[in-house]
Amino acid sequence: MRYLPKSPADREQMLRELGCKSIDDLFAPIPAEYRLKGDLNVPRQMSEQEILQFFRQSSRDNAAGYATFLGAGAYNHYRPVVIDSLISRGEFFTAYTPYQAEIAQGTLQAIFEFQTMICELTGMEVANASMYDGSTAVPEAAMMSVRLTGRSNVVIARSVHPEYREVLRTYAQHQGLPITEVGFGENGRLDMAALDKAVTDQTACVMVQSPNFFGTIEDVAALAEFTHKKGALLVVSIAEAMSLGVVKPPVEADIVAMEAQSFGVPLGFGGPYAGVIATKEQFVRQMPGRLVGQTVDKHGRRGFVLTLSTREQHIRREKATSNICTNQALVATMATIFMTIYGREGLRELAQHNLAKAAYASNEFGKKGKVLFAGAPRFNEFVLQTAGDPYAINERLLEQKIIGGFPLKKFYPELGNAALWCCTELTKKENIDAAVKAVAQ
Amino acid sequence: MSGPKKATTHVNQNEGLIFEKSSPGKKAYRLEPLDVPAVDAAKLLGAAVRADVGHLPEVSEIEIIRHFTRLSTWNYGVDTGLYPLGSCTMKYNARVNEVAARIDGLAYAHPYQPERLSQGALRVMKTLADCLLEITGQDAITLQPAAGAHGEMTGILLIRAFLQSQGNPRKKILIPDSAHGTNPATAAICGYAVENLKSNAAGMVDVPSLVAQMNEDVAGLMLTNPNTLGVFEQEIHKIADVLHSKGGLLYMDGANMNALVGKTRPGDFGVDVMHLNLHKTFSTPHGGGGPGSGPVACKKHLEPFLPAPVVCEKPDGTLGFDYNRPKSIGRVRAWYGNFGMHVRALAYILANGPDGLRMTTEDAVLNANYIRKRLEGVYDLPYSTPSMHEVVFSDRKQTAKGLKTGDIAKRLIDYGFHPYTVSFPLIVPGALMIEPTESESKEELDLFIDAMREIARECEQDPQLVLDAPHTTRLSRLDEVLAARKPVLRWKPQAKSAAE
């Protein structure tokens, strides 16, 4: 076995030192009737070439080489090559959670930089060192709101990613957190009249997404004013982090629950991604997940450690703020490198390219179908209602190796023949023009 | 910052925060020209437009490469040397896994692309799922949970949903006092009260106390096996029987499967549901704290409750996702889990095959026992029960000189090793929990053993040397109390001007 570094003679010698006749002596604690007698029924040992052949074939059986208009919570952005070059360094990717700070300063400092950049981008005062992803950040933010307010109800917009809402429901159902969903208005924004009816004196938080699932930017300031008047917290989920380059951050919110995938994380068929929770300083002790803090060594030199761990499961056990143990350090490092590459100017330019592509596309599509929710600003996604079935339109596009928009029937049947189209900086004008043609056919 | 900028005799320069290198106008990117008309963001977005993205750094590509490369050299990884963190299973991360995960059609697959154009990704998931079912001896599986603790939550929700379907979800989960902290936290977030179960003198679940504590209010028991002492729960089948006789279920925390793969299968000894940590047992890298992946495997009776969707084979032989699962506990994460980790774990299984998986387990157990044998007497061994893949000593012999497990750990850094686990299990005060894994050669083990013996001698002869450790790192011991008392959780622009 090529990953095992011992020779047969090494094993013999070690067994002799242990006074064992055979390796099976060491497995004596497992009752004999439960010890496997034969081989596991898994594929035989393969050579490196065979392994790569298997995965290359798998890649070919996927949509390799297709242009795409899919967004809906997972965004196709360019990943500068520097990212993989750096995160492939063994000291980053083969390390564990930085429990021994003196030999983990690389990871710790990178995370400290990540926390800082997330604060700058979101307008929040503190950010954690990442959560599993944007979908699990939502229930964690809901549970955090419950701890902060002592109230138990959650009000969530129907325009929050449908799968995020499903995850929230799974987490909430056994914790006595009733969930009320509030619909959207003509302009795609949260229906304020319906919100007014839904919020009670037991509402811990109002949760919205901005840009929301339809790409529409919510009026966060108005939502915050309303929510705070009711004594509840406002949680804003951000699925498309790239929007922060040009869209005003939700500074009026109490908690931001974000997905950082857009920042240099490959689509990867849905994961791994990196969620983040960012909030106000006064709420930090109720925030779940890992945090890195600055400190000094005994010579007064600056260094970094994991901190405020008394909130966490390994100390508080069943009273912890969350059961989350791992974070997504390597993915957070990817995002940190991405944010560093683009920086203050680049993120803005990138976001503007996204805006321009989507504006061109929605304008062109608007000539052949109906672009919904025109009354509010949006970022890089829009909803197109067509005369024909979006699945049929997509079939026509696939012949040109283009994956069309995401049909909304499954999650929003009331929108009829509607699909969610996404344009990023990687979307080519020629593909937009081809898609417009396919819609018109 | 005080002192010279060149801080130590490290192979490279000291490295400040990336923000401290920034100056306006530096760039590390170039966008391609827009092929559509440019837009006026303020006009399109109105009040929602952003004036400025704030203090993100402006630096060049070479500065980025140097910054993160320098940071990386201050980290210790499995690539650097023995990383014996017990219960964390830090084994070699094979490079072919990384190449496989980065093949374009897998790395850049959109989760909503049509199923017919996702057959490759679905095949990877199905093949991995089949292998994990064979390895665990279970009947059904979900790959959706994003990490081990997320898998624990999924598993406990399966138990809850199953019992609920029989009319009563029950109130309590039993958890041995030797368990990981995630176990009680998980039970609590699933709406259960936690009841502790005492270990017996051998460090195992005390079956008579279990019998006494088991009743119709108990939904299940969360058991790590081998447990956090590295001890196989020899009466596991009896434990399962006790639970089942009163209608409860047995959950196994699979964090320590590295000791069992290819030698025994939890499904065969009565486990109803368990999670696996792909980053531990199947060599997907843990990246300084994540990503992980925590598939949950279970027996047939729990299958209807698995999170939706599950991978299924369609009548035409193609693969797809089955969303129509009325009894499902719901989703635990968007999409299908950490697919990139599924690719890596499958690459590892294919590289090993049945014989390699078995030999891996055997070497892991052999290595732990070798360390145990050669350090016994030098360090106190609180439980003499046979060890599997990890061994737990205590600092009892060294505390006489005022030295604790944490001090020994810091001194170990000076010898070029990552420390063992210092905080577990709670039932061993001052634990030294050592898990070498199968990835270590005899030479590396001997070096480690020599270092541990030398430190034991230093504890006797020069305790201050150990108390002040580490001595060879870029920074000396860091003040964790200060960090918690006066939290500084981000860099602020004014901090720079103050330093200047």
- Neighbouring residues of B77: CB distance < 8 A, sequence distance ≥ 6: A90, A91, A92, A93, A94, A95, B83
Coil, strand or helix at B54 = coil
Taking the C-alpha atoms of residue A289 and residue B354, their distance in angstroms, rounded to an integer, is: 37
What is the pLDDT at residue A322?
Answer: 87
Chosen for mutation from A20, A46, A58, A118 (greatest number of chain B CBs closer than 10 Å) is A58
Taking the C-alpha atoms of residue B194 and residue B197, their distance in angstroms, rounded to an integer, is: 10
Instruction: Give the minimum alpha-carbon distance from A49 to chain B in angstroms, rounded to a whole number.
Output: 10
Q: Which residues from chain B sit within 8 angstroms of residue A44, using beta carbons?
A: 353-354
Tell whether omega for the bond before B145 is within 30 degrees of 0, i.e. cis: no
What is the pLDDT at residue A89?
Answer: 97
Q: Does B189 sit within 8 Å of A322, measured CB to CB?
A: yes
What is the pLDDT at residue A314?
Answer: 81
Q: Which residues from chain B sit within 8 angstroms of residue A290, using beta carbons?
A: 289
Q: Which residues from chain A sit within 8 angstroms of residue B61, using beta carbons?
A: 82, 341
Tokens found for residue B227? 């447990």
What is the pLDDT at residue B177?
Answer: 87
pLDDT of A308 > 70? The answer is yes
Q: Does A428 sit within 8 Å of B35, measured CB to CB?
A: yes
Q: What is the largest CA-CA distance in chain A?
A: 83
Taking the C-alpha atoms of residue A411 and residue B191, their distance in angstroms, rounded to an integer, is: 29
Sign of torsion over alpha carbons A436, A163, A205, A198: positive
Give the residue from chain B lying closest to A328, CA to CA. B290
Give the residue from chain A lying closest to B492, CA to CA. A116
Q: Does B359 sit within 8 Å of A4, measured CB to CB?
A: yes
Tokens found for residue A85? 């070059």
pTM comes to 0.97
Residue range B325-379, pLDDT digits in tens: 999 999 999 999 999 999 999 999 999 999 999 999 999 999 999 999 999 999 9
pLDDT > 70: percent of chain A: 100
Coil, strand or helix at B193 = strand
Interhelix angle B182-189/B148-165, nearest 10 degrees: 40
User: What's the average model confidence in pLDDT over A396-422?
Assistant: 97
Instruction: Give the minimum alpha-carbon distance from B400 to chain A in angstroms, rounded to a whole number.
Output: 24
Report H helices in A41-179: 48-60, 81-87, 90-93, 105-122, 134-149, 162-172
- pLDDT band (50, 70, 90) for residue A63: confident
Residue among A36, A64, A84 minimizing CB distance to B265? A36
Containing H/E element for B303?
none
Q: Does B339 sit within 8 Å of A86, measured CB to CB?
A: no
**Nearest Cα residue to B121 out of B284, B311, B295, B303:** B311
**Nearest Cα residue to B192 out of A139, A325, A174, A313:** A174
**Nearest Cα residue to B156 out of A174, A105, A21, A343:** A174
Q: In what order do the strands lie in the sheet with A406-407?
A: A370-371, A381-385, A418-422, A406-407
- Neighbouring residues of A81: CB distance < 8 A, sequence distance ≥ 6: none
Q: Does B475 sit within 8 Å of A301, measured CB to CB?
A: yes
Q: Which amino acid is present at B154?
A: T
Q: Which residues from chain A sit within 8 angstroms of residue B98, using beta carbons?
A: 88, 93
In chain B, % helix, strand, coil (3-state, to 5) comes to: 40, 10, 45
Chosen for mutation from B55, B68, B318 (greatest number of chain A CBs closer than 10 Å) is B68
pLDDT > 90: percent of chain A: 93
Instruction: Give the minimum alpha-carbon distance from B397 to chain A in angstroms, rounded to a whole number.
Output: 23
Burial pattern B206-240, b for ≥16 Cβ within 10 A else e, equals beeebeebbeeebbbbbbbbbbbbbbbbbbbbbbb
Rg from Cα positions in chain A: 25
Residue among A4, A112, A305 minimizing CB distance to B478? A305
In chain A, % helix, strand, coil (3-state, to 5) comes to: 45, 15, 40
Question: In angstroms, what CA-CA distances link B394 with A124, B229, B420, B459?
Answer: 44, 11, 12, 14
Half-sphere exposure of A206 (CA within 13 A, CB side): 33
Taking the C-alpha atoms of residue A350 and residue B287, their distance in angstroms, rounded to an integer, is: 28
User: What's the average model confidence in pLDDT over A269-291?
Assistant: 97
CA dihedral B254, B257, B260, B262 (to 10 degrees): 110
Instruction: Give the minimum alpha-carbon distance from B211 to chain A in angstroms, rounded to a whole number.
Output: 21
What is the pLDDT at residue A326?
Answer: 83
Q: Does B477 sit within 8 Å of A297, measured CB to CB?
A: yes
Chosen for mutation from B64, B79, B108 (greatest number of chain A CBs closer than 10 Å) is B108
Find how far residue B377's CA is from the centre of its chain. 31
Residue range A192-228, pLDDT digits in tens: 999 999 999 999 999 999 999 999 999 999 999 999 9
What is the pLDDT at residue B8?
Answer: 63
Residue among A34, A270, A353 minimizing CB distance to B339? A270
Rg from Cα positions in chain B: 26
Q: Which residues from chain B sit within 8 angstroms of residue A48, using beta carbons?
A: 96, 351
Coil, strand or helix at A131 = strand
Q: Which residues from chain B sit within 8 angstroms of residue A130, using beta carbons?
A: 290
Cβ atoms of B343 and B101 within 8 Å: the answer is: yes
Residue range A76-99, pLDDT digits in tens: 999 999 999 999 999 999 999 999
Instruction: Give the minimum alpha-carbon distance from A3 to chain B in angstroms, rounded to a whole number.
Output: 7
Cβ atoms of A207 and A156 within 8 Å: the answer is: yes
Q: Does B80 sit within 8 Å of A74, measured CB to CB?
A: no
Residue among A26, A166, A304 minimizing CB distance to B365? A26
Give the residue from chain B lying closest to A28, CA to CA. B386
Q: Which residues from chain B sit within 8 angstroms of residue A133, using beta carbons?
A: 146, 333-334
Q: Does A55 sit within 8 Å of B100, measured CB to CB?
A: yes
Cβ atoms of A192 and A226 within 8 Å: the answer is: yes
What is the pLDDT at residue B33?
Answer: 97
Q: Which amino acid is present at B222?
A: M
Residue range B460-480, pLDDT digits in tens: 999 999 999 999 999 999 999
What is the pLDDT at residue A372?
Answer: 97
**Nearest Cα residue to A95 out of B73, B354, B199:** B73
Cβ atoms of B334 and A138 within 8 Å: the answer is: no
Residue range A296-306, pLDDT digits in tens: 999 999 999 99
Q: Does B105 sit within 8 Å of A63, measured CB to CB?
A: yes
DSSP state of A35: B
Q: Does A13 sit within 8 Å of B442, measured CB to CB?
A: yes
Residue among B48, B187, B331 minimizing CB distance to A377? B48
Burial (CB count <10 Å: 0-12, 13-18, 19+), residue B484:
middle
Q: Does B109 sit within 8 Å of A269, measured CB to CB?
A: yes
Taking the C-alpha atoms of residue A224 and residue B364, their distance in angstroms, rounded to an integer, is: 55
Q: Which residues from chain A sit within 8 angstroms of residue B74, using beta carbons?
A: 91, 103-106, 109
pLDDT in tens, chain B (500 residues): 444 455 567 788 889 999 999 999 999 999 999 999 999 999 999 999 999 999 999 999 999 999 999 999 999 999 999 999 999 999 999 999 999 999 999 999 999 999 999 999 999 999 999 999 999 999 999 999 999 999 999 999 999 999 999 999 999 999 998 888 899 999 999 999 999 999 899 999 999 999 999 999 999 999 999 999 999 999 999 999 999 999 999 999 999 999 999 999 999 999 999 999 999 999 999 999 999 999 999 999 999 999 999 999 999 999 999 999 999 999 999 999 999 999 999 999 999 999 999 999 999 999 999 999 999 999 999 999 999 999 999 999 999 999 999 999 999 999 999 999 998 888 999 999 999 999 999 999 999 999 999 999 999 999 999 999 999 999 999 999 999 999 999 999 875 444 44
Taking the C-alpha atoms of residue A133 and residue B493, their distance in angstroms, rounded to an integer, is: 29
Cβ atoms of A247 and A258 within 8 Å: the answer is: no
Q: Does B75 sit within 8 Å of A104, measured CB to CB?
A: yes
Instruction: Give the minimum alpha-carbon distance from B149 to chain A in angstroms, rounded to a whole number.
Output: 6
Q: Does A52 sit within 8 Å of B99, measured CB to CB?
A: yes
DSSP character string of A61-94: TBTTT-EE---TT-------HHHHHHHTSHHHHT
Q: Does A167 sit within 8 Å of B330, measured CB to CB?
A: yes
What is the pLDDT at residue B37?
Answer: 98
What is the pLDDT at residue B498?
Answer: 44
Taking the C-alpha atoms of residue A299 and residue B321, their distance in angstroms, rounded to an integer, is: 57
Give the residue from chain B lying closest to A134, CA to CA. B334
Tell the residue number behind the tokens 């599924």, with chain if given.
B342
**Nearest Cα residue to B495 out of B4, B17, B15, B25:** B17
What is the pLDDT at residue B3?
Answer: 43
**Nearest Cα residue to A418 out of A439, A398, A390:** A390
**Nearest Cα residue to A340 out of A64, A38, A114, A125:** A114
DSSP state of B264: B
Instruction: Give the minimum alpha-carbon distance from B195 to chain A in angstroms, rounded to a whole number.
Output: 10
What is the pLDDT at residue B1?
Answer: 41
CA dihedral B432, B433, B435, B436 (to 10 degrees): 0
Q: Which residues from chain A sit within 8 angstroms of residue B268, using beta carbons?
A: 34
Q: Which residues from chain A sit within 8 angstroms of residue B103, using beta carbons?
A: 55-56, 58-59
Helices (H) and strands (E) in chain A, counts: 13, 15
Residue range A236-252, pLDDT digits in tens: 999 999 999 999 999 99
What is the pLDDT at residue A311?
Answer: 84
Cβ atoms of B120 and B105 within 8 Å: the answer is: yes
What is the pLDDT at residue B7?
Answer: 54
Question: In angstroms, what CA-CA distances link A272 with A131, B77, B128, B381?
Answer: 11, 21, 17, 40
Q: Please, what is the end-to-end C-alpha distance for chain A in angstroms?
A: 58
Give the residue from chain A lying closest to B6, CA to CA. A301
Q: Which residues from chain B sit within 8 angstroms of residue A225, using beta carbons?
A: none
Q: Does B106 sit within 8 Å of A30, measured CB to CB?
A: no
Residue among B57, B268, B410 minimizing CB distance to A34? B268
Taking the C-alpha atoms of residue A146 and residue A152, their distance in angstroms, rounded to an integer, is: 6
Chosen for mutation from A132, A319, A352 (greatest number of chain B CBs closer than 10 Å) is A132
Taking the C-alpha atoms of residue A339 and residue A336, their distance in angstroms, rounded to an integer, is: 5
Q: Which residues from chain B sit within 8 angstroms of residue A163, using beta carbons?
A: 331, 334-335
